[in-house]
């Protein structure tokens, strides 16, 4: 099983998913991330899915779970780089990713986090 690396940039954690995720890796990532948020007192989490070719209900649920979990640990989550084909498929699948913030790319994701934190200091 491959593990997804978690990068730290200031008080933001960045996860860039570059592999075809199997369900076990998804679950491991959820746990690793929760621990990392606490260990680094992170205020923001960015999940980059630019390289992800499909998001099925399992991965969709992971994104929602990570967002909810981080919120509880006082960190905001932004999912960035979703491909058009993936977005269309998610809509058709009926998955709304409720409550997850999204941005077009990493840069805009960082800007969004700054903005959110600026609004609620």
Partner 1 sequence: MTGGSELPIASNADVVLVRQQVRSAALEVGLSLVDQTKVVTAASELARNALVYGGGGMARVEIVENGPRKGLKLVFSDEGPGIADVEQALTDGWTTGGGLGLGLSGSRRLVDEFDLVSAPSKGTTVTVTKWAR
Partner 2 sequence: MTVDADVARRRIEELLRTNEEQILRRWTLITKATPEELTDLYQALNRALDSGGEDLADVRGLLAELSRSRARQGFTPSETSRAVFGLKEALYEVVEEDGGADALRGFIWFSRLIDDLGLFTFETYATAREKIILDQAEQLLELSTPVVKLWEGIVAVPLVGTLDSARTQVVMEKLLQTLVDTGAEHAVIDITGVPAVDTQVAQHLLKAVVAARLMGAECVISGIRPQIAHTIVTLGIEFGDIVTKASLADALAHALRRSGVQVSTPRGTRISVRTEDA
Q: Which does 108 bind (CB under 5 to 8 A by kind): partner 2, partner 1, none?
A: partner 2
Binding site for partner 1 (CB under 8 A): 20-24, 53-58, 60-61, 83-86, 88-89, 92-95
With respect to partner 1, which residue has the nearer C-beta, 54 or 72? 54
With respect to partner 2, which residue has the nearer C-beta, 38 or 87? 87
The reply to whether 92 sits near partner 2 by the rule CB under 8 A is: yes
Minimum gap (Å) between residue 110 Cβ and partner 1: 27
Minimum gap (Å) between residue 3 Cβ and partner 2: 26
Q: 34: buried, middle or exposed (CB in 10 Å: 19+, 13-18, 0-12)?
A: middle
Phi/psi at 32 (nearest 5 deg)?
Answer: -55, -45
Rounded to whole angstroms, the Cα distance separating 68 from 49 reads: 18
Q: 3: buried, middle or exposed (CB in 10 Å: 19+, 13-18, 0-12)?
A: exposed
Task: Give, in degrees to the nearest 5, the angle at Cα 46 between 40 and 51.
Answer: 130
Contact 102, 80 (CB under 8 A): yes
Q: Which does 94 bind (CB under 5 to 8 A by kind): partner 2, partner 1, none?
A: partner 1
**Residue ranges that bind partner 2, judged by CB under 8 A:** 79-80, 82-85, 87-88, 90-92, 96-97, 101-105, 108-109, 112, 115, 119
């Amino acid at each position: 099983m491959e593990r997804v690396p978690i990068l730290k940039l200031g008080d933001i954690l960045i996860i860039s998913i570059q592999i075809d995720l199997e369900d076990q890796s998804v679950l491991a990532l959820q746990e690793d991330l929760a621990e990392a948020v606490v260990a680094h007192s992170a205020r923001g989490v960015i999940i980059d899915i630019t390289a992800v070719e499909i998001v099925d209900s399992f991965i969709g649920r992971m994104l929602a779970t990570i967002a909810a979990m981080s919120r509880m640990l006082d960190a905001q989550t932004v999912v960035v780089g979703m491909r058009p084909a993936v977005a269309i498929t998610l809509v058709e699948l009926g998955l709304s990713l409720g409550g997850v913030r999204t941005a077009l790319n990493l840069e805009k994701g960082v800007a969004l986090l700054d903005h959110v934190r600026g609004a609620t200091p």
